[in-house]
Chains A and B, each alone.
Chain A
Amino acid sequence: MSVRTSSPVEGRVDADDVAAGGGTPSPAAGRVVATSPGARRRPRDLRKTIEIAVLVGPALLIFLAFVIFPVIMAGYYGFFRWKGFGPPTDFVGLQNYVTIFQDPTFHEAVTHNAIIVVMSLVLQGPAALLLALLLNRPMRGQSVIRVLIFAPYVIAEVVVGTGWSLMLQSEGALNGLLEKIGLGAFTQDWLADPGIAMWTLLGIITWKYIGFAVILFLAGLQGIPQELTEAAQIDGASYWQIQRRITLPLLGPTLRIWAFLSIIGALQLFDLVYIIWGQYVASTAGTSTMATYMVANGRNAGNYGYGNAVAVVLFLISLVVALVYQRFVLRRDTAGALTERTDR
């Protein structure tokens, strides 16, 4: 599906390139290389190294300092009972982890996360796919509809949370509306009823994030060459046959990437739950997540050692899920990502 442009320009492979290439020893593309290796290599290499360092250095530094380093430190702090002041001294070994795995509140949070992961895929995937197919047909008003569907995704979680929680109160607009149109029997305590709250949350999540899926799918659909569908049309295939046999398989990589992003997002869900249900109500309403558990029992309770241990658990769960997904689902998509242009 992808059109590679690595042009095998006549050139000489120099030692570095082969080492970096690992796989395909195709001739180095691009650079005009000096004919005698020994003579001009040194100054060129030095210059190249400096350029690489200057260009990557700042990004690498900030990435290491604020992404990698904190994750490593979480692993360290997780072994201590620590209130966050001064250096941690009260080493407790694996005690924090034992507490986490024995805490029923945490088990509930994990269950909620699992429900959210699965239901996000089930609710958003098919609906977003149909919408994307619909919006991909040439018709007037297309771009306006696209913007409007994407609007909730752009709005801050805080705004969404504040708005929805006002609307869904038992005396709120939704119940009022239901009464008015004669569906009074369907009024609910949307936020506080433990049997309903999770579905409310799933509804809000679908509303907020489906636009992202639609726009991603649309981008994928636009990459499918029109010649294919035209050829199928000439051969007499119906619209749905074309979608089923041509569009869907070719959209596979996009679908798999979206599913990956959705799963990771669902595992880390924090903002909406914390804003709508607050830190305490979330567990009684049955919407707590691992992240809200982490904040409530870590920072808000002043137990930084424990909070860091929860962060490590959350991190490991995400990592395992990500690796399993990469290994079994994404493999064919990413296979080329690192190896394809090793000739450079």
Chain B
Amino acid sequence: MTASIALPRPPRPRQTGRLPWGSPSIYFVAIVVVSLMLAPIAYIIIGGFRTNSQITTDPSALPAPWVFTNYADVLVSTTFWGEVLNSTVAAVVTTVGVVALGLMASYVLARYQFKSRGLLYAMFAAGLMFPMTVAITPLYLVVRNLGLMNSLGGIILPQIAFALPTTIIILVPFLRAIPDEIEEAASIDGCSRLGFFWRMVLPLALPGVITVGILAFIASWNSYILPLFILNNEAAFTLPLGVQAFASQYSVDTAKVLAFTSLSMIPALVFFSIFERRIVGGLTGAVKG
């Protein structure tokens, strides 16, 4: 996990044109694994197109006929869209906050020299050892004392705080890897350190920033234990709480629960498949030993 790499390495030499086909056995293994990974997801999505009587008669069959009423019912419900809105607001504000605060702090930890720097870095890094679960009971009391119960602020602030360790650990190597010569050149050209931050650091650290942004967004979108403690009022529910409430409220209407569930996972999946390459790229910088 030590900060390493510096300059982007030249792209691997690749045969021009398309990648070669692998051997059939590799594809066989890949297909088996992928089907195992996808089967439960497919069950949820396809189950939403069935009726309850279809599900009861044969739980593992395909829809016959396909019905769209479950999805349609969910899509016209104001509860669903309210929860989508809450989740979106929480995830976007958390992401912006984490990126802004994390980038500022990482910049200092990577490129300034001062006495307590090692201590500061160690403190943030130690936060990595303690996910939110361990602190949830006292955290709930802190949020309650701040009067933030049942408000999105009550989940956004702790989420930012708990996402900072990962963010800093991923970003610091990126910022360190920016060659000193660039900073010298900028300084000779009359650029202040803060100016350097805006004009050079931000663009150069973009891959790392995108990675931490996506991780923060997905973590917030999926977050369960914190909303469970903080949000008791249905109007403030985010999607994970909504899914659970819906599942217990309509426990006999399995098909509708499946439709609601599959609709709630779409945004994170879409978001991830767009940026998948970026995540691997970002982790490469941070993880390499």
Contact between chains at B131 and A268 (CB < 8 Å): yes
Interchain CA distance A172-B47 in the complex, whole Å: 12
Judged by a CB distance under 8 angstroms, whether A167 is at the interface is yes
Is the CB of B74 closer than 8 A to any CB of chain A?
Answer: no
Contact indicator A219/B284 (Cβ below 8 Å)? yes
If A5-B6, A138-B20, A140-B18 touch, does A154 touch B137 (CB 8 Å cutoff)? no
* Segment of A67-75, A103-111, A116-124 in the binding face: A67-75
Q: Which of B111-155 contact A (CB under 8 A)?
A: 111-115, 117-118, 120-124, 127, 129-131, 133-142
Across-interface contacts of A22 in B (CB, < 8 A): 118
A340 touches B2 (CB 8 A): yes
Are B280 and A218 in touch, CB under 8 angstroms? Answer: yes
Docked Cα-Cα span, A106 to B139, in Å, equals: 22
Given A3-B5, A163-B40, A59:B101 Cβ within 8 A = yes
Interface of A is mostly: helix
In the complex, the answer to whether A65 meets B134 with C-beta atoms within 8 Å is no
Structural contact, A137 and B257, CB atoms closer than 8 A: no
CA separation between A9 and B181, bound complex, in Å? 9
Q: Beyond A66-B162, A322-B129, is A145–B34 a contact (Cβ under 8 Å)?
A: yes
B185 CB → nearest A CB, Å: 11
Size of interface on A: residues with Cβ below 8 Å to B: 125
**Bound complex: CA of A6 vs CA of B33, how far in Å?**
43
Q: Is B191 an interface residue (CB 8 A)?
A: no
Given contacts A9-B180, A156-B240, A159-B44, contact A77 B138 (CB under 8 A): yes
Which of the candidate stretches B63-71, B202-210, B271-279 sits at the interface with the other chain? B271-279
A66–B161 contact, CB under 8 A?
yes
Q: Which of B41, B61, B109 contacts A151 (CB 8 A)?
A: B41
Q: Which residues does chain B contribute within 8 Å of A12, judged by CB atoms?
A: none
Please name all residues of chain B whose beta carbon is closer than 8 Å to the beta carbon of A160 when the two chains form the complex.
40
Q: Which listed residue, B26, B158, B179, B261, touches A163 by the CB 8 Å rule?
A: B261
| B93 CB-CB contact with A under 8 Å | no
Asked whether B60 lies within 8 Å of A59 as measured between CB atoms, the reply is: no
List of 5 A-B pairs having minimum Cβ-Cβ separation, nearest first: A253-B289, A2-B4, A139-B22, A5-B6, A66-B161
* Residues of chain B at the chain A interface (Cβ within 8 Å): 1-7, 12-14, 18-22, 26-27, 29-30, 33-34, 36-38, 40-41, 43-44, 47, 56, 58-61, 101-102, 104-105, 107-115, 117-118, 120-124, 127, 129-131, 133-142, 157-158, 160-162, 164, 168, 176-177, 179-181, 183-184, 187-188, 193-194, 218, 221-222, 224-225, 229, 239-241, 243-244, 247, 254, 257-258, 261-262, 264-265, 268-269, 272-273, 276-277, 279-280, 283-284, 287-289
